[in-house]
Amino acid sequence: MSDPICLFCRIIRRELPATVVYEDDEVLAFQDIAPKAPVHLLIVPKRHVEGLQALEDGDAGLIGSLFACLTRLARERGVARSGYRAVVNAGADGGQSVLHLHLHLLGGRPMDWPPG
Ligand code: AMP
């Protein structure tokens, strides 16, 4: 289901511009508008899901599709060998600012640990 006011649902419906790098029936991937690394892509389900915190047992397939997309994009963008970070911020303490589930694919530079 789509949410009329959700930012990422509006990108999925092409009501807002984005640099889309992958699309299928279930998943859309696009460039982050404020990249935190040379490679910074967002992988989102087309169905509106608020975040990891809203997933249910039946969503295991969807999670698989999102991570399959992320690993494929990491290879395509040339960061699979050098390494990369896959991040999902969940809820307020997790630092989630857009309430539509999204995987961040960050790569092209060494990452610090622990995250802030
Ligand atoms: P999070 O803080 O985990 O919810 O991540 C939200 C991400 O969405 C941030 O990295 C933002 O830079 C990114 N973002 C916000 N608005 C847009 C947009 N219109 N197009 C692409 N990325 C966006």
The mean pLDDT of the chain is 97
pLDDT at 68: 98
12 φ, ψ to 5°? -60, -40
For the segment 4-31, the average pLDDT, to the nearest whole number, is 98
Q: How far apart are CA 110 and CA 83, in angstroms?
A: 8
What mean pLDDT comes out for the span 104-116? 96
Protein residue whose Cα sits closest to atom 16 of ligand 1: 33
Residue 116: pLDDT above 90?
no
* 104 part of the active site: no
Which atom of ligand 1 is the closest one to the Cα of 40?
10
Q: Are 45 and 6 in contact (CB under 8 A)?
A: no
Residue of 40, 48, 100, 102 marked active site? 102
Taking the domain 7-107, which CATH number applies?
3.30.428.10
Cis upstream peptide for 114 (omega within 30°): yes
pTM greater than 0.95 (yes/no): yes
Integer Cα distance of 99 and 101 in angstroms: 6
Residue 102 has pLDDT above 90, yes or no: yes
